Amino acid sequence: MTSAVMSSQSADEEKAAGALSIDDVISSDITISRKIDQQRASTSRGNLKLAIAKRCRSNKLVRRRFAFKLKIQQMVLR
């Protein structure tokens, strides 16, 4: 057999055995990279939402404490 036929045969055998081509590896790397970027984006969005919720909760507690303090002062002054 000639070397061209043998290399063609070995390439077919590798594909049949489940070997990946360069194109398959590159496309899977790109897909994985995109998924990681999406996860990072959703995580940072989630962290931002959590930070805003915590700040709003904190501000709410401060306002309540201030209102309660005013009520107590008004009761004492009467």
The three-class DSSP label of residue 1 is: coil
Q: What gap in Å lies between CA 78 and CA 71, rounded to an integer? A: 11
Question: Is 57 domain-assigned?
Answer: yes
- pTM of the prediction? 0.41
For the stretch 15-69, pLDDT in tens is 555 666 777 767 777 777 777 777 777 777 778 888 888 888 888 888 999 999 9
> Which segments of the chain does DSSP mark as H helices, in order?
3-16, 22-77
**Total tally of structural domains belonging to the chain:** 1
| Residue 12: inside a domain | no
Q: Which domain holds residue 43?
A: 20-77
Within-domain flag for 4: no
In a domain, 46, yes or no: yes
In a domain, 11, yes or no: no
Phi and psi at 2, nearest 5°, equal -85, 165
66 domain residue, yes or no: yes
